[in-house]
Amino acid sequence: MYIPDLDDMLATHARIRPHINRTPVFSSRMLDEMSGAQLFFKCENLQKAGAFKARGASNAVFGLTDAQAARGVATHSSGNHGTCLSYAAGRRGIPCTVVMPRTAPQAKKDAVIGYGGRVVECEPSTSSREAVFAEVVAETGQEFVHPYNDHRVIAGQGTCSKELLEQVEGLDAVIAPIGGGGMVSGTCLTLSNLAPKVEIYAAEPEQADDAYRSFKAGHIIADDAPETVADGLKVPLKELTWHFVSTCVTDILTASEQEIVDAMKLIWKRMKLVMEPSSAVPLATILKNPDVFAGKRVGVVITGGNVDLDRLPWMNT
Amino acid sequence: MYIPDLDDMLATHARIRPHINRTPVFSSRMLDEMSGAQLFFKCENLQKAGAFKARGASNAVFGLTDAQAARGVATHSSGNHGTCLSYAAGRRGIPCTVVMPRTAPQAKKDAVIGYGGRVVECEPSTSSREAVFAEVVAETGQEFVHPYNDHRVIAGQGTCSKELLEQVEGLDAVIAPIGGGGMVSGTCLTLSNLAPKVEIYAAEPEQADDAYRSFKAGHIIADDAPETVADGLKVPLKELTWHFVSTCVTDILTASEQEIVDAMKLIWKRMKLVMEPSSAVPLATILKNPDVFAGKRVGVVITGGNVDLDRLPWMNT
């Protein structure tokens, strides 16, 4: 298991800079008043392909040798990683295959195809996904880029908090949502090296709190099939992300489904930003834990903006 | 009738700068491809109080003498101008009264009250509004700040395209939605003086096309009660805005209700920005008239972001 270090992250930022946005940081007087903290929202919903995952995916793609690149990349994902890998592969002009359950929303398949990638469907089960994916790799020789348990991906996500440190002075804490832990691991990598006094919080839905329980237990606990509106956060930690989470994270905080939807709507309404339910989990936990954040300058990662506008969570409530 | 000039606009920008956001300019590769132009979106949905009207309102409020300020300001508006005037008055710590029909959405009333203003209700008719408003002014001696037919307001709105010129080089055209014509007049004021070669387009809903018909006829035609999803654009031109529109505008383009909603959804989806239906009219007309904009560098004013998230136009379609 190779653990990426500061030099990897710095080389990554130089490599991917032409292919990603240096996303802006926004604040809101009203949300500062509500939270009692100073919040600096790092807007990765305005990232290429609509999510921070363009960082890690670009690093993996642009780090390939020419021979590897000629064969292309492959992954399994029904979320932003598949879209972002397709985006990055398209930028380099190389093939990309994304294995997705046939039941995944058509919009997600279209997003991969829109950037030039190929979608291969599997049945909605782990065994089918693994079998189909093995077939794809055997046929194509494509390089597997895991959504988060990959040192190239983690180094890529770490460039987000490097920018945040450059954009905001005197941060006391950074908080990001946690699913598989790719963004949080990248944040740990960067902050532990460049700003070791900055606290690192991870925010997780109560209904998919495997990272929280892992953190408290001291070993990985994987949920079977968690259900949450924050659908980007259902996946479990793996050994590489567990390394960072278990050694660098200050604490993991959780929020209920209603708290997540309320925080999402609050950001849409007050900050005029379209972002995913997953991206609202940090604000939900901040508002729930004022004692933790009072008076602090807090970087908040808005992880992505790829949401189905016809199925907003408050349409059903 | 006093017509504001370049010096007024420059003095205005100096006066209001501490009270407004220098809003960012965003672009989208995908929308550029769709339009065949290069589009630079000036994001006034990220302005203080959520709309460009904070500029004109701040200018009116901060230009008052101390004696005037002590009495405060008043207006009639069930839209962004009322909210923004309340915002500006709150910044100066002076009273503000907004006359609104009792049938106006509670959220609009709450927005005024949230910034410290007072709402006085009238019946939903012009005669009632005028009678109630006259009463308010007689009682309070408050200074009337018209939503657009006011030289202080127009000079304020003109600061938006001053920033746009500083933020984007080599613009060929600027396009903004037109209702009463305050933003378009401010745009005319600034561009005719600072960048006279830049074309100025106004964009209007087909179902509220009084500015379009006025422009073609050569005199003001006021619609009685137009109905459009772009509810910020229902009001007619007045003499001061007609002066600018009739002398400086290159052309007025119109779009259907469906085209407006489609363009709105496109901006939400691709640019991750929450904005009002009114703000989508320019993009709708650009996509409808590719021959007009092909190959041009076009500034597009996103005028505001105050939309009811529970009543999005595509929820009903």
- The reply to whether residue A273 touches residue B274, judged by beta carbons under 8 angstroms, is yes
Q: What is the mean pLDDT of residues A44-61?
A: 97
Q: Cα separations (Å) of A125 from A100, A225, A242, A288, B85?
A: 10, 11, 24, 35, 57
Angstrom distance (rounded) from CA A117 to CA A131? 20
Cβ contacts of B271 on chain A, cutoff 8 Å: 46
Mean pLDDT of chain A: 96
pLDDT value for B222: 86
Q: How far is B220 from chain A (nearest CA, A)?
A: 35
Amino acid identity at A50:
G
- The reply to whether residue A315 touches residue B314, judged by beta carbons under 8 angstroms, is no
Angstrom distance (rounded) from CA B122 to CA B100? 6
Angstrom distance (rounded) from CA B257 to CA A304? 30
Angstrom distance (rounded) from CA B25 to CA B31? 14
Confidence of residue A316 (pLDDT cuts 50, 70, 90): low
Instruction: From B175, B174, B184, select the one nearest B281 (Cα to Cα).
Output: B175
Q: Where are the domains of chain A?
A: 6-51+150-315, 54-144
**CB contact set of B176 (below 8 Å; sequence gap of 6+):** B183, B184, B187, B201, B202, B203, B282, B300, B301, B303
- The reply to whether residue A274 touches residue B275, judged by beta carbons under 8 angstroms, is no
pLDDT value for B226: 87
The yes-or-no verdict on residue A197 having pLDDT over 50 is yes
- The reply to whether residue B265 touches residue A45, judged by beta carbons under 8 angstroms, is no
Instruction: From A299, A301, A297, A298, select the one nearest A278 (Cα to Cα).
Output: A301
The predicted-structure confidence for B2-32, as pLDDT tens digits, reads as follows 999 999 999 999 999 999 999 999 999 999 9
The predicted-structure confidence for A55-90, as pLDDT tens digits, reads as follows 999 999 999 999 999 999 999 998 899 999 999 999
Strands B199-205 and B297-302: unpaired
- The reply to whether residue A309 touches residue B26, judged by beta carbons under 8 angstroms, is no
Structure tokens at B145: 């700040």
- The reply to whether residue A273 touches residue B272, judged by beta carbons under 8 angstroms, is yes
Amino acid identity at B134:
A
**CB–CB of B268/A272 below 8 Å?**
no
Structure tokens at B231: 């509810």
- The reply to whether residue B309 touches residue A314, judged by beta carbons under 8 angstroms, is yes
Structure tokens at B28: 């989208």
- The reply to whether residue B272 touches residue A305, judged by beta carbons under 8 angstroms, is yes
3-state secondary structure chain A: CCCCCHHHHHHHHHHHHHHCCCCCEECCHHHHHHHCCEEEEEEHHHCHHHECHHHHHHHHHHCCCHHHHHHCEEEECCCHHHHHHHHHHHHHCCCEEEEEECCCCHHHHHHHHHCCCEEEEECCCHHHHHHHHHHHHHHHCCEECCCCCCHHHHHHHHHHHHHHHHHCCCCCEEEEECCCCHHHHHHHHHHHHHCCCCEEEEEEEHHHCHHHHHHHHCCCCCCCCCCCCCHHHCCCCCHHHHHHHHHHCCEEEEECHHHHHHHHHHHHHHHCECCCHHHHHHHHHHHHCHHHHCCCEEEEEECECCCCCCCCHHHCC
Q: How large a percentage of chain A has pLDDT more than 90?
A: 92
Q: Strand pairing partners for B201?
A: B175, B251
Angstrom distance (rounded) from CA B146 to CA B111? 18
Instruction: From B155, B156, B175, select the one nearest B51 (Cα to Cα).
Output: B156
Q: Strand pairing partners for A119?
A: A98
The yes-or-no verdict on residue A256 having pLDDT over 80 is yes
**CB–CB of B201/B173 below 8 Å?**
yes
Cβ contacts of B305 on chain A, cutoff 8 Å: 272
Residue of A272, A279, A302 best to disrupt the B interface, most CBs of B under 10 A: A272
Q: How far is A92 from chain B (nearest CA, A)?
A: 17
Q: What is the mean pLDDT of residues A120-138?
A: 94
Domain B54-144 architecture: 3-Layer(aba) Sandwich (3.40)
pLDDT value for A317: 46
**CB–CB of A276/A312 below 8 Å?**
no
Q: What is the mean pLDDT of residues A100-116?
A: 93
Listed as ranges, residues in chain B with pLDDT below 50 are 317
Q: Cα separations (Å) of B285 from A30, B133, B174, B280?
A: 35, 36, 13, 9
Domain B6-51+150-315 architecture: 3-Layer(aba) Sandwich (3.40)
Angstrom distance (rounded) from CA A137 to CA B38? 40
3-state secondary structure chain B: CCCCCHHHHHHHHHHHHHHCCCCCEECCHHHHHHHCCEEEEEEHHHCHHHECHHHHHHHHHHCCCHHHHHHCEEEECCCHHHHHHHHHHHHHCCCEEEEEECCCCHHHHHHHHHCCCEEEEECCCHHHHHHHHHHHHHHHCCEECCCCCCHHHHHHHHHHHHHHHHHCCCCCEEEEECCCCHHHHHHHHHHHHHCCCCEEEEEEEHHHCHHHHHHHHCCCCCCCCCCCCCHHHCCCCCHHHHHHHHHHCCEEEEECHHHHHHHHHHHHHHHCECCCHHHHHHHHHHHHCHHHHCCCEEEEEECECCCCCCCCHHHCC
Global ipTM: 0.93
B→A contacts (Cβ < 8 Å), by residue, are: 24, 26, 45-46, 50, 265, 268-269, 271-275, 305, 309-310, 312, 314-315
Angstrom distance (rounded) from CA B121 to CA B132? 8
Structure tokens at A142: 């494509």
Q: Using CB atoms, which residue from B46, B272, B309 is nearest to A265?
A: B309
**CB–CB of B149/B157 below 8 Å?**
no
Residue of B91, B272, B275 best to disrupt the A interface, most CBs of A under 10 A: B272
